[in-house]
Structure 1
Amino acid sequence: MANLIPKDFTGGEELLGKLMNSFWQERQMNTDIKEYEDQYLVKADLPGIKKENIRVSYVNNTLTISATQTDELEEKDDLGHYLRKERSSSAYQRTFTITDIDDASIKAKFEDGVLTLTLPKASYKDAPAKNIPID
């Protein structure tokens, strides 16, 4: 890859770094996390991924979302010989530290390429009501 950048080009290493960062950002699962008073709502874009290829875990205050995708394209002649066979495989993973979650009540839904996770806060359901004095 270094041969693609002219030797007299100043900033070549910086350009190469930016290109590699751009490559990895495109392969990254875009994720939004929104905090509410009683829960967190997580939405992760996983277009083209099948539901059975998605794994979600919450262990030791760590939420992990991982997914794999395998695409195969085969073209054969009339005798069954391959003319072309292409395969691609991708793996995605994001990990977030989110504390104070009622892990027994986590809910997940996958629809239209978007994984939606609802993570209820443990302290919210256990917290006693607090009366606020009015001056």
Structure 2
Amino acid sequence: MSLLPKNEWLDGEDLVGRLMNTFWDDRKMSVDIRDLEDHYEIKADLPGFEKPEISVRYNNDILSIDAEHTSENEVKDDGHFVRRERSNSAYHRQFVVKSIDEEKITAAFENGVLTLKLPKADYEEKKGKAITID
């Protein structure tokens, strides 16, 4: 007799796989990419990171964002550790972004958000044409 409805995700090995996928999803760098008329705008959430801990590279049409943060928290009592904690966070994301004017790429980091502007190399602002209304 079953008191709870059977859920697919509770079956055998599939449960472990789904839990591990959720575990890694929680540890990914969240990134938004917008395709605007003359450039791409990328925003990556990196809370708790400092600017020197972040590196951005664009090489062979691949944009790489790396961030690594190590922290150590020590509380001492008469020279004996009462508590000592260390943590290390590292993120790495790569995106294929073609036809970029790499000399004009800009980056800013403010309030835990990395903002990149990647100008399109082949963008040409057109004046347009006036249309006569009959």
1:41-120 to 2 correspondence within 5 Å? 41-78=41-78, 80-120=79-119
Unaligned runs of 5+ in 1: 1-9
Cα 1:50/1:131, change in 2 over 3 Å? closer
Counterpart of 2:67 in structure 1: which amino acid? A
Q: How far off is 1:72 after superposition?
A: 1.0
| Cα distance in 1 between the residues matched to 2:121 and 2:85 | 47
Q: How far off is 1:134 after superposition?
A: 6.7
SS at match of 1:16: helix
Deviation digits for residues 68-98 of structure 1, max 9, x if unmatched? 11121111112x2222211110110110000
Deviation digits for residues 8-47 of structure 1, max 9, x if unmatched? xx62211111111111111100000000110000000000
| Cα distance in 1 between the residues matched to 2:36 and 2:68 | 30
Q: Which structure has greater helix proportion?
A: 1
Q: How far off is 1:128 after superposition?
A: 7.7
Counterpart of 1:120 in structure 2: which amino acid? P
| Cα distance in 2 between the residues matched to 1:24 and 1:106 | 30
* RMSD value, Cα: 2.1
TM value normalised by structure 1: 0.83
Unaligned runs of 5+ in 2: 1-9
Runs of 4+ in structure 1 over 6 Å off: 130-135
| Cα distance in 2 between the residues matched to 1:15 and 1:92 | 26
Counterpart of 1:104 in structure 2: which amino acid? E
| Cα distance in 2 between the residues matched to 1:134 and 1:82 | 78
| Cα distance in 2 between the residues matched to 1:68 and 1:116 | 17
TM value normalised by structure 2: 0.84
Q: How far off is 1:108 after superposition?
A: 0.4
Identical aligned residues as a percent: 53
Aligned length: 124
1:32-43 to 2 correspondence within 5 Å? 32-43=32-43
Q: How far off is 1:131 after superposition?
A: 6.6
